Amino acid sequence: MIGLGRGAIYAASDASAIIPHTRRVVYLDDGEMAVFDASKCDIVSMQAMSAVDKQVEEIEWDLEEAERGGYEHYMLKEIFEQPETIASTLRGRIVGGEDAVRLGGLHDVAESLGRARRVIFTACGTSWHAGQIGAYLLEELARIPASVEYASEWRYRDPVLEPDTVVVGISQSGETADTLAAIELAKQRGSTTLGIINTVGSSIARLSDAGVYLHAGPEIGVASTKAFTSQVVALTLFSLWMGRKRGLDPARIQEYLEALVALPGQVQAILDRADEIRALASRLADHDNFLYLGRGYSYPVALEGALKLKEISYVHAEGFSAAEMKHGPIALIEQDTPVLVVAPRDASYPKVLSNMQEVKARGGHLITISSEPNGLAELSDELFTVPQTLDSLLPVLTSVPLQLLAYHIGVMRGCDVDKPRNLAKSVTVE
C-alpha cells in the first residue's frame, strides 16, 4: 500500500507500519506500480503504461492502538488486549432470534454457501492452526466435509475442486503471498472464495468474493496472539451461520451464543493470573527441548503453543497429537523432558489422561493446561487451570497461558520477542 502523508509518501506491506505517519492510503492491485517522490504519487498500469485513477481510503485503526501503551512489548500488550478483541469480533454479530448470527460480509454469497458441499480452509502458520479448529467446528455444527490445507503446498498440487466447493483463506494481514495465490487458484477453478482476515482493504479482502473481518485492531508483534483467538471466534460464528442454514438445533445455537458472550470475561480471568505463568516460565526457561500434546480441539492448540515457543524463544518445541505419541515421539521423552499437555475436561479427556500417565512413567516433567474441575494435581508436576466452556471454544482459553509462557520464556532468555530473528510480520513473498 502507499501512504499519503503531509510532504511525504510511504510504501509498506502492512497497515501497522503506516499508521504512525498517515491514515490515508492507496492500495495497489496486481500489475500496478507507484511512482513517487516526497510531493506526489502516480499509480501506473504496468501493462498499458498509463496512469490509473485510484480511490484514497482511510485506515480505521487509531495510532493509540498501534502503540505499546505502557507494556514492555507489543506482544504482551496484544495478549492482554484479547478480552477486548474477542468482544470486538463478536460485536453486532450475535443477534439471537431466528437469525442467531449476522455476518453481513457473507450476504452476497449466501446462496452459493447454502449449496456448499465441501469447504477447504487454506492458510499458513498460526492461521493454519485456527483453520484446523475451523474445520472441526464446521463439520460438527454444519455437517459439511471440511479440511485445512497449507496454502504453500495446496496451490502447487493441482487440487481437485468439485462443484460447490468453498475455499476460505485465513490471514491476519490479508497479504500472505501463498494464501493470496491459493485464493486466486480457487477463483480460477470456479469456487466461491471467502477471506477471514484482520486488515480492511488488504489484497485478500479485495480478491475474495466475500468474507469476515476480525476487527481485532493492529497486531504489531510478529508472533500472532490476539488475531489467533479472534480467528477462532470468527470461525465459530461462521460455523454457526452455516449450521443454521442446515437445520442446526436452535437450542444448541443458543448454547453457543451464550458461551461466546462469556469468553471475554473468562479470558480476563486467565490474564488476572498471569503471574502464575511467569513463575512457571522461570522454572522452565533453561530447558532446550519441549513436547506439546493435545487431542481433538486441543491438538491445534498444542501445535500453536509449540510454534509460539519456537518463534519467540528459539527453543526447540514440537507439537503432536497425544494419540500419535506412542507412534514415535515418545522416544524423545527422557528424565525431566518438559511435556506440556493441553488436557481440558472435554470429550478426549479420558484418552489424554492415559497419555499423561505414559509421560510420567518415562520420567517426563508434566505441565498440564486443563479446565476445572480436573483432578490432575497429583499426576502433574505443573498445573494451570482455565474456566470451563464448550469443548470447541476451549482453544480460545487454553491458548492464552501458552502465549504467556512463550512470551516470558523468550524474555528470560534475552530474545527480542516483538521482532524474532529471521521472521516477518507479513510474509509477502514465497
Pairing of strands 365-371, 382-386: parallel
Q: Which of 392, 51, 26 is nearest to 243 (CA)?
A: 392
Pairing of strands 32-36, 9-11: unpaired
Q: What are phi and psi of 416, to 5 degrees?
A: -85, 95
Return the SS3 of 344.
coil
Return the SS3 of 158.
coil
Pairing of strands 118-123, 32-36: unpaired
> Tens-digit pLDDT profile for the chain (430 aa)?
899 988 899 998 777 788 888 888 998 888 899 998 878 889 999 988 888 988 888 887 766 666 777 899 999 999 999 999 999 999 999 987 778 999 999 999 999 999 999 999 999 999 999 999 999 999 999 999 999 999 999 999 999 999 999 999 999 999 999 999 999 999 999 999 999 999 888 899 999 999 999 999 989 899 999 999 999 999 999 999 999 999 999 999 999 999 999 999 999 999 999 999 999 999 999 999 999 999 999 999 999 999 999 999 999 999 999 888 888 888 888 898 999 999 998 888 888 888 898 888 899 999 999 997 777 888 899 999 999 999 999 999 999 999 999 999 999 999 999 999 888 777 877 7
Q: How many CB atoms lie within 10 A of CB 189?
A: 14
pLDDT at 340 (0 to 100): 96
User: Strands across the sheet with 41-45, in order?
Assistant: 32-36, 41-45, 50-51
| Angle, vertex CA 89, rays to CA 83 and CA 94, nearest 5 | 110
Q: How many CB atoms lie within 10 A of CB 157?
A: 10
The rounded distance, in Å, linking the Cα atoms of 389 and 297 is 13
Q: What are phi and psi of 174, to 5 degrees?
A: 75, 10
**Residue 252 vs residues 100, 255, 256, 343, 387: alpha-carbon distances, Å:** 11, 5, 6, 24, 20
pLDDT at 63 (0 to 100): 61
Contacts 24+ apart (CB under 8 A), 307-311: 307/125, 307/126, 307/129, 308/223, 308/225, 308/402, 308/403, 308/405, 308/406, 309/405, 309/406, 309/409, 311/222, 311/223, 311/406, 311/420, 311/423
10 Å CB burial of residue 55 (0-12, 13-18, 19+) is exposed
Please name every residue paired with 33 in a beta bridge, in sequence order, or none if there are none: 44
The rounded distance, in Å, linking the Cα atoms of 161 and 182 is 12
The rounded distance, in Å, linking the Cα atoms of 293 and 351 is 12
Helix, strand, coil percentages for the chain (3-state, nearest 5): 45, 20, 35
The rounded distance, in Å, linking the Cα atoms of 290 and 280 is 14
pLDDT at 320 (0 to 100): 93
DSSP state for residue 27 in the 8-state scheme: P
